[in-house]
A and B are shown apart, each in its own frame.
Chain A
Amino acid sequence: MAAGGGGTGTNKTYSFKVVLLGEGCVGKTSLVLRYCENKFNDKHITTLQASFLTKKLNIGGKRVNLAIWDTAGQERFHALGPIYYRDSNGAILVYDITDEDSFQKVKNWVKELRKMLGNEISLCIVGNKIDLEKDRHVSVQETETYAESVGAKHYHTSAKQNKGIEELFLDLCKRMIENAQADERAKGNGSSQSATARRGVQIIDDEAQVQSSGGCCTSG
């Protein structure tokens, strides 16, 4: 419901907010700079900042404005998380495949996000730095099983070699569109009572919606 600011026409533009979460140095900034600027560790990057970036997409005729919010990864800012991810439609949780700890952090974030935002948010768990496969310290099996168990999708990426990043964002957008459409349907045909389904973090009272959790999110 946070998407699109109303309107049910077929040519509507979706606006999605996606937060990047994960421990420091796992490559959040690198991922988003690669996606939006196609640059990696480049001294000639012209962008002033990499903390808020946008990307316009066209997916099957649907226009999408993606706003990607970088979050401060330092531990001393951890508790500010809820302020950042309030109202977000998607979250990208990044860990470093060579760093076991960073995957544990991802698990904590998942718990927190599900608790606060329920199933409205599309979760992506991302194992970054696959170019360092030889130093892998996190088991593929474990991460994929875990992702499935919490209704998230799992991806492998390398910001350095530009692998898996387009797919990640495209996939996420498709899932967020589905969520938004399901939301519109749930809202019913009458847009006149709108006021009750408007603002901030919405908790859907509809039992069916809540219980279809894992299934609907992984099917994207």
Chain B
Amino acid sequence: MTSFPGPVARLIDEFRKLPGIGSKSAQRLVFHLIARPADDVRSLAAAVADLEEGVRPCRICHQITDIDPCAVCSDPGRDTTVICVVERPSDVLAVEDSGEYRGLYHVLHGVLNPLAGIGPEALTIAALEQRLAPGTVHEVILATNAGVEGEATASYLARRLAAGDLRITRPAQGMPAGSELEYTDRLTLARALRGRQNMD
């Protein structure tokens, strides 16, 4: 097989690192871009560059944001006694969409996964503990996904965060096993949030 010119091969390699993109899809995307008008390609490149410069994790909840603290953390209308802990930034949007939740968030940026070398120190757990230290938060909702690692992370956090009369809950009902928050429909998620159970 003859190889692609350097810049083409490099972009194909970069696309392949994205979730759900294989070699063939990466090639298709690159050749699609080559065929587009130069302006389109430049505006894509600019958008990608802005990600690097204009976006960072919120210093409080670690949600990805362009203003710091993020819109949720700086909204005076939110219930500051409840924190919903999620795996990924996109999970925050899923919970917001359910329309059932008015508290704050905390984004872990992953779950425990020893096989992938991810331990508690790679997640934002220490920052979460700092948020709980003053004792103004009354409930932590552990909304990690329902797979083995998500469940183990919830169970780990339940142990580690247990203190005084802090209520630790997990949305339980109607979350099908192995389901990802991001793909759970609004109604199911809303129901799960309403029916959350104490973890002990």
A and B from one assembly? no
